[in-house]
Structure 1
Amino acid sequence: MARTRIALSGSALVTAAALAAGLTGCGAADMTRQSSPYADAKSSRTVTLSVQSWVGAQANVAVAQYLLEHELGYRVDTVQIDEVPAWDALSQGRVDAILEDWGHPEQEQRYIDDKGTIRRGGDLGVTGHIGWFVPTYFAEQHPDVTDWKNLNKYADEFRTAESGGKGQLLDGSPSYVTNDKALVNSLGLDYQVVFAGSEAAQ
């Protein structure tokens, strides 16, 4: 049975019909070589989905898994892998689909354009927005903090033990797509990017 591996980009729920159209084949082991219950089940209708660590991606996979299992008769295995290693796993056939990706042009060039081992599954129809946020109570007390030009004025108030004497700009996982370090440097902000490690910790 031929296998088509796909990566979908955006941040919306995928429909089972679209997913099923691109998935034929079986899942195998995850990045740690932990055995998938559906590995090597070549004659079965099985799918292994990569699960990213943020809630939106987990919701996408949960809906796709439910529809694939209950509406289309697939057996579904899920494997949690960070964003960039997920592309490697997808190319090597250890997972069959990434349902949400936030832009990895180097991986796209390598695996889609150069090697041809991954196909684009298409956009999901929702444009995600990445931004900086401050607590509401602080913005109400200091309305000008929402203009980046005033951030240095409040750097001392955002200082933590982890930020080394600068204001703390808290990010999630180091594996997430972000330009925060470059922005802080380019804008001359007196802030240090600190990684919480996950969306939940952030």
Structure 2
Amino acid sequence: MVKVYGWMFLALMITAVVALITISSESILMMIFSNQVVFFGLLIGELVLVWILSRRIYKMSVPTAMITYLLYSVINGLTLSCIFLAYTMGSIAGTFFVTALIFGIMALYGYFTDKDLTSAGNICLMGLIGIIIASLVNMFLNSTALYWIITYAGVIIFTALAAYDTQKIKQMNVIGDEGTAQDKKQSIIGALILYLDFINLFIMLLRIFGRKRN
């Protein structure tokens, strides 16, 4: 679990640094957000990298898995840089702190509880599919009410997933695998899962607590 959170923390730091570098460069911003081909290409690239890591990681070499994971965090930093344009720096920092606090509490609960969280996790996964579909529909409806329903549902779902995924990752550990290629790959895929939970929870909370720039 120390390795998992180490990889997760590294990815979050890379994403934050890349996002800050991006907003400081007008040329990079123009390249990403003024060109739909580039922007949607980055989004598709993110989905492809997550799919590759989720489905193919155990067939990769450890260095390839590491590079793929870190590349995803870089691309995510490029696309997430838009939040620094939309929200004030103070509200972003405050929301990050709140996210870290909530995530930390739920991760500790998931790690130490003796209760099986599988049923709750399955409900959350179904709910996640629901908010993905609702988000796609709302791209056409542009409904404010549906936007806020998705947001608050997302906070609940990703908060619960922080506990469920922590318990699941803990159970993935196999005694005797320490230091093996299998162990390193499990650390990376575990970090990716928690990274996605954290980022999505942060985005949902930012919708609620974030202060828009004038």
TM range (shorter): under 0.3
Where relative contact order (Cα < 8 A, 6+ residues apart) is larger, the structure is: 2
- Is the radius of gyration larger for structure 1 or structure 2? 1
Structure showing the higher helix proportion among its residues = 2
